[in-house]
Structure 1
Amino acid sequence: MRGCMYYKERGFADIDKTPEPFRVIKKGTRGIFTGQFTKSKAQPDFKGTMRGGKTIVFEVKSTQEDNIKQSVLSKKQSATLESYYNLGAIAFVLIAIQDEFFTVPWDLWRDMKEYFGRKYVKANDLERYHVKYSLRVCFLDKVFLIKVKE
Structure 2
Amino acid sequence: MSHGKRGKTLENIIEYSNKVYKNKGMALVDKVPTPWNVHYNKKTGRVVRAFPEKKGTVDFVGISHGRSIAFDAKSTKIRTSFPLKNVEQHQVDYLINHQDQGGISFFIVYFEKHNEAYYLPIDELKKWWDSQLSGGRKSIPYEWFVLNTDLIKTNNGVPLDYLERAI
Which bracket does the TM-score occupy, shorter chain normalised? Answer: 0.7 to 0.9
Partner in structure 2 of residue 2 of structure 1: 16
Partner in structure 2 of residue 120 of structure 1: 139
Q: TM-score, normalised by structure 1?
A: 0.79
Structure 1: stretches of 5+ with no match in the other structure = 145-150
- Percent of pairs identical after alignment? 24
Q: Post-superposition shift, 1:82?
A: 1.1
Structure with the higher helix share, 1 or 2: 2
Q: TM-score, normalised by structure 2?
A: 0.71
After TM superposition, the structure 1 = structure 2 runs for residues 67-106 of structure 1, keeping only pairs within 5 Å, are: 67-98=81-112, 99-106=115-122
Q: Post-superposition shift, 1:118?
A: 3.2
Q: Post-superposition shift, 1:57?
A: 0.1
Q: Post-superposition shift, 1:42?
A: 1.7
RMSD, aligned α-carbons: 2.5
2:125 paired residue among 109, 114, 125: 109
Q: Distance in 1 between matches of 2:48 and 2:76?
A: 28
Does the CA contact (< 8 Å) of 2:37 and 2:53 recur in 1? no
Q: Post-superposition shift, 1:73?
A: 1.3
Q: Deviations over 1:70-94 (max 9, x none)?
A: 2321111111111101111100011
Q: Distance in 2 between matches of 1:55 and 1:35?
A: 36
2:26 paired residue among 12, 24, 28: 12
Partner in structure 1 of residue 70 of structure 2: 57
Structure 2: stretches of 5+ with no match in the other structure = 1-14
